[in-house]
Amino acid sequence: MLQALTRLVTGQQMARIDRRAIEGGIPGTKLMQAAGEGVFQVLESAAKDLSGCRIVILCGKGNNGGDGFVVGNLANRAGASVTLFLFAKAAHIEGDAAHHLSETIQQGLVVNQVQTKSDLKQISRALSKADFVIDALIGTGLRGSPRRLVAETIEEVNQAVCPVISVDVPSGMNAQEGTCPGPCINASHTVTFALPKLGHFFQPGRSHCGKIHLSDIGISDEDVEAEKVGTSLIAPWGAASLLPKRAPDAHKGDCGRIVIIAGSQGLTGAATLAGQAATKVGAGLVTVGVPESLNDILEIKLTEAMTRPLPEVRKARCLSLRARGQIQDLIHSADCVAIGPGLGRHRETEALVRRLLKDVRVPLILDADALNALSGDAGCLKGLEAPTIVTPHPGEFSRLTGVDPDRISPNPLEETRELAESCGITVVLKGAPTLIASPDGSVYVNPSGNAGMATGGTGDVLTGLLASLIGQGLDTLGAAQLGTYLHGLAGDLAAEKLGQMGLTASDIVANLPVAEQMIRKLEDRNLYLKTDLN
């Protein structure tokens, strides 16, 4: 099955891939030339006409600076007015970068060497007149905060009014974690090479990247595969390949029989949103099982889905242990079962959830209060007969695993991977970005979505969406990949129309069919909305 297509790498992994390509016969100077050409193409597209355009290029002493020299050479030949600053002595530039610096000097470009604080005044004057800035100061090898002169220059660039194009990563951003330990360039565009970097998709780094462009510099698939990269980006074309296909003579029974166990007093909205989302992405038959005293409310809220009143705890209006037998009957003919949205935290409901784990044989999704029912006991997820997806946010993840939240935040990839591997389940860690971990140790990063989705009910929408996709034939990993991408894309479409502040979970449900159509048609391969990884 075709899944995510774009590997995500750390700076160290990319360096090893580069080295492998060079050892395989591609000169490093050629790779650097190709990288600079990729940046120049973005510059040329943004400027429309470079003749007379004033370009300020800021170069560090490493390979990132070498890419900047190439951009300067190409822009100069195109008729631009290029002002180049080097944050090192020209005599100290080595390797491939030295080759391209030599070409820069041969072209007659002046290389302004920035050595003292007084040199910053010249940069400030140049920035005030610039049409574009090329940020080639610090690449993927950043450790710690940018140093004094570079740090002050970054602050100056961020005050400039012209567009900034960053080379590989915005200077000041950690390529592996997306952290910004000091000042960081606010780029309009970031041009990265061969493969996107992890930091491009983690906050706050993602907010500094602007529009991301992926440039092919000639590195082979074999060199990439040899690195055995375990993290990938969910690409739109990968998501499109996972969309269920429906036979012309299909009937509702062929399109997924979904059972959702949800709801309690005050939380009927969660059950409603999960049921609506399941129907909006194609499930043939959806049944929402709810506490019996709440059934009338759900029958009003849900038109396309069926409801099933279930035994409840007297006066508490939440599911009781006596509901187990009727739920067993419900799931007997189901293609997928989702448990959790709005269930509540009553001890009897939590006991019911634990017992249902032994009953389900078809694919199972555990969300929200179903996960809270398992707090501190992630081990009970090991060895389940049902292929299982869990969809915690960081707080639920912490309660489920006992891992301190302060440990999850800096290491979400590793923590998510460890839970998936140890329990043999698919883990969807909701956040910015959402991560999907497979039992085989692979991790997928979802690039779609926005801050407007930080509102009640969006997780319930995702649960119904995932259940629907599984019911239509996807395995748990494929459903998690496609489902998170669709969910985020629908949120992005809603935010484009309504803004982020007023976005609601119902708006996401309403935009699910539009999102599905967008990636099914693939009229535009750029469906990240904020990026251009074509």
Q: For residue 428, give both structure tokens.
A: 């969807």
Can you tell me the mean pLDDT for 321-326?
97
Helix (H, G, I), strand (E, B) or coil at 133: strand
511 domain-assigned:
no
* Separation CA 55–CA 131 (nearest Å): 6
Asked whether 188 and 210 are in contact (CB, 8 A), the reply is yes
Asked whether 299 and 307 are in contact (CB, 8 A), the reply is yes
The length of the chain, given as a count of residues: 534
* Residue with the larger pLDDT of the pair 70 and 146: 70
488 domain-assigned:
no
- Is it the case that residue 22 has pLDDT exceeding 60? yes
Query: DSSP characters for 4-47?
Result: --EE-B-HHHHHHHHHHHHHTT--HHHHHHHHHHHHHHHHHHHH
526 domain-assigned:
no
Can you tell me the mean pLDDT for 492-516?
97
522 domain-assigned:
no
Sign of CA dihedral 11, 15, 17, 18: positive
- Looking at the fold, whether 222 and 120 belong to one and the same domain comes out as yes
Backbone angles phi, psi at 62, to 5 degrees: -95, -160
- Quote the pLDDT of residue 3: 35
494 domain-assigned:
no
Q: How far is CA 267 from CA 2, 315, 347, in A?
A: 38, 15, 17
CATH number assigned to the domain comprising residue 298 = 3.40.1190.20
- Quote the pLDDT of residue 405: 87
Sign of CA dihedral 498, 503, 506, 510: positive
Sign of CA dihedral 112, 116, 121, 123: positive
Summarize pLDDT for 146-173 with one digit per residue, the tens.
989 999 999 999 999 999 999 999 999 9
- Looking at the fold, whether 254 and 222 belong to one and the same domain comes out as no
- Is it the case that residue 393 has pLDDT exceeding 70? yes
498 domain-assigned:
no
- Looking at the fold, whether 224 and 256 belong to one and the same domain comes out as no
- Looking at the fold, whether 261 and 408 belong to one and the same domain comes out as yes
- Looking at the fold, whether 275 and 226 belong to one and the same domain comes out as no
* Separation CA 357–CA 386 (nearest Å): 8
* Separation CA 346–CA 472 (nearest Å): 33
* Separation CA 18–CA 26 (nearest Å): 9
pLDDT band at 517 (very low <50, low <70, confident <90, very high): very high
- Looking at the fold, whether 23 and 131 belong to one and the same domain comes out as yes
Q: For residue 484, give both structure tokens.
A: 């998170």
pLDDT band at 247 (very low <50, low <70, confident <90, very high): confident
- Quote the pLDDT of residue 143: 80
Using DSSP bridges, classify how beta strands 388-390 and 364-366 pair: parallel, antiparallel or unpaired.
parallel
pLDDT band at 236 (very low <50, low <70, confident <90, very high): confident
- Quote the pLDDT of residue 313: 97
Helix (H, G, I), strand (E, B) or coil at 225: helix
Give the full edge-to-edge strand order of the sheet including 426-429. Answer: 6-7, 231-233, 443-446, 434-437, 426-429, 388-390, 364-366, 336-339, 257-261, 285-291, 306-310
Query: DSSP characters for 302-367?
Result: -SSSEEEEE-B-TTT-SB-GGGHHHHHHHHTT-SEEEE-TT----HHHHHHHHHHTTT--S-EEE-
Backbone angles phi, psi at 379, to 5 degrees: -60, -25
493 domain-assigned:
no
Percent of the chain with pLDDT over 90: 88
CATH number assigned to the domain comprising residue 16 = 3.40.50.10260
444-482 as b/e: b if 16+ CB within 10 A: bbbbbbbebbebebbbbbbbbbbbbbbbbebebbbbbbb
* Separation CA 174–CA 152 (nearest Å): 18
Summarize pLDDT for 73-95 with one digit per residue, the tens.
999 999 999 999 999 999 999 99
- Looking at the fold, whether 226 and 327 belong to one and the same domain comes out as no
- Looking at the fold, whether 75 and 20 belong to one and the same domain comes out as yes
Question: Considering only 80-84, 108-112, 258-262, 519-523, which range has the smallest mean pLDDT?
Answer: 519-523
- Is it the case that residue 528 has pLDDT exceeding 80? no
- Is it the case that residue 530 has pLDDT exceeding 60? no
151 domain-assigned:
yes
- Looking at the fold, whether 212 and 250 belong to one and the same domain comes out as no
- Quote the pLDDT of residue 145: 86
- Is it the case that residue 2 has pLDDT exceeding 50? no
Q: What is the mean pLDDT of the chain?
A: 94
- Quote the pLDDT of residue 406: 86
Percent of the chain with pLDDT over 70: 97
Can you tell me the mean pLDDT for 191-213?
95
- Looking at the fold, whether 225 and 273 belong to one and the same domain comes out as no
- Residue where a domain stops, chosen among 175, 201, 233: 233
pLDDT band at 5 (very low <50, low <70, confident <90, very high): low
| Model confidence, pTM | 0.92
* Separation CA 264–CA 317 (nearest Å): 6
- Quote the pLDDT of residue 442: 96
- Looking at the fold, whether 301 and 322 belong to one and the same domain comes out as yes
Residue range(s) defining the domain that contains residue 396: 246-434+442-447+455-475
Q: For residue 19, give both structure tokens.
A: 């080295």
Angle between helices 505-521 and 476-498 (to 10 degrees): 110
Summarize pLDDT for 410-467 with one digit per residue, the tens.
889 999 999 999 999 999 999 999 999 999 999 999 999 999 999 999 999 999 999 9
Number of domains in the chain: 2
* Residue with the larger pLDDT of the pair 4 and 29: 29
* Separation CA 227–CA 13 (nearest Å): 7
Sign of CA dihedral 116, 119, 123, 128: positive
- Looking at the fold, whether 188 and 263 belong to one and the same domain comes out as no
